[in-house]
Amino acid sequence: MRNKPVRRTAERAASASGAWVVFLVGFMGAGKSSVGQALARRLRCSFEDLDLRIAVREGRTIEQIFQQSGEAAFRDAEHAALKEFLAEQDSSPRVLALGGGAFAQARNVSLVRAGAGHVVFLDAPVEELFCRCCQQNVERPLLRDLQQFRQLYESRRPSYEQAEHQIETGGRDVDAVAADVARALGLYPNEAE
């Protein structure tokens, strides 16, 4: 006799195990923010983009932080913002999109692993990621040319592969990807079943 898969609503999962976070990791253009917003709507929980938190805390855009203070200062601000997010006493489930380099930093991986949550790696072919980044009206300090982009992607990929789940976003609709993330985690909207 096969066991029926356990369906948990986000609300039940949070109350059963305390507050938890779905951490979305992956390279630039993978869809972490778009999928995160769709996933949060699906699960009826809150969503936050770590880069936006950093910009608000610093009073500058990510590009300005890189230009004025350098990448090391940005990584320190990123770590501080992640620590702050995890320290907040929030009893409800949350979805957090990490910047492309956040999960490639060992100290951030340690923070994420220590928190109650699930890590999901969103991925797509590198050429598609590059095209998405070039088409978006977003300043990306580390976006230069395809060769440099590919090298950075390959250097970070082993870190991303530490995630519990990997979901392909290439050529896919944001809502379909969000549904796949929810299924992979066994989470469903907070509704009567």
Q: Residue 85: what pLDDT?
A: 94
Q: Residue 115: what pLDDT?
A: 79
Residue pLDDT, tens place only, 6-23? 344 444 444 444 568 999
Other Cβ atoms closer than 10 A to 26: 28
Q: Residue 193: what pLDDT?
A: 34
Are 111 and 86 in contact, with CB atoms under 8 Å apart? yes
Residues of the chain with pLDDT under 50: 1-17, 191-193
Q: Residue 143: what pLDDT?
A: 66
Domains detected in the chain: 18-184 (3.40.50.300)
Report the alpha-carbon distance of residue 126 to residue 122 in Å, rounded.
Answer: 12
Q: Residue 38: what pLDDT?
A: 97
Q: Residue 37: what pLDDT?
A: 98
Q: Residue 3: what pLDDT?
A: 38
Residue pLDDT, tens place only, 95-131? 999 999 999 999 999 999 987 799 999 999 999 998 8
Q: Residue 54: what pLDDT?
A: 97
